[in-house]
Amino acid sequence: MKNSPSGINLASQPFGRERAETALLTAICSVLFLSFCVFMALFLQERSQASALRRTIASESRTRDTFQRQQNQFQAIIARPTNADVFSKSVFYNQLIARRAVSWTKVFEDLQKVMPNNIQLVALRLPQVAAEEVGGQNHVELDMLVGTQQPQAILTLLKQFGASSLFGPATISSQQPPTQNDPLFRYRLSVPYVQSF
């Protein structure tokens, strides 16, 4: 039998599995190509989202810069000497209104509810308008001087101030021991107070 032109003798070298191997390689290449297409689609989608996010950030930054410029303009107007006087008068009038709105009778009634019997109210200053807020409400600061013969009673008063809905946490600014003329321990307190009408 003569050899075939390609040099393959089908009698001694039977037909191999080239078709199966070719089909398997074709399937693997198809899967890899599909995976590549999916990854490219995901990459392009992420790139598009990142671009949209950058545009949003740039737009928000421009808006913020606009607001900052407006705020600087308003602050410059308020800082003018002619306007600063008006601003200080406005603050002063607001403080006067807030002080007039405080009823002394109501202050003493509310203090009577939280003060223990063994503590005396020695002095109470005109309420000071507080700059900050307690619990989201405008309030005044009460500066008071109290006296007691039992120092541990001041702890009870501080707890009752903190538990009250009308008062806030009190702070002790000074204290004095008893003297020959005054048998009381004296404490100066500052406590926030929100008057209810």
Residue 96 lies in a domain: no
Other residues' Cβ atoms within 10 Å of the Cβ of residue 122: 15
Q: Do both 185 and 114 map to the same domain?
A: yes
Q: Do both 106 and 180 map to the same domain?
A: yes
pTM (predicted TM-score): 0.46
pLDDT, one tens digit per residue, over 95-121 is 656 666 667 888 888 899 899 889 999
Tokens coding 32: 């890899």
**Residue 40: pLDDT band with limits 50, 70, 90:** very high
pLDDT, one tens digit per residue, over 54-81 is 999 999 999 999 999 999 988 888 777 7
- The domain tally of the chain equals 2
CA distance 81 to 93: 19
Judge residue 184's burial from the number of C-beta atoms within 10 Å of its C-beta, 0-12 exposed, 13-18 middle, 19 or more buried: middle
Residue 62 lies in a domain: yes
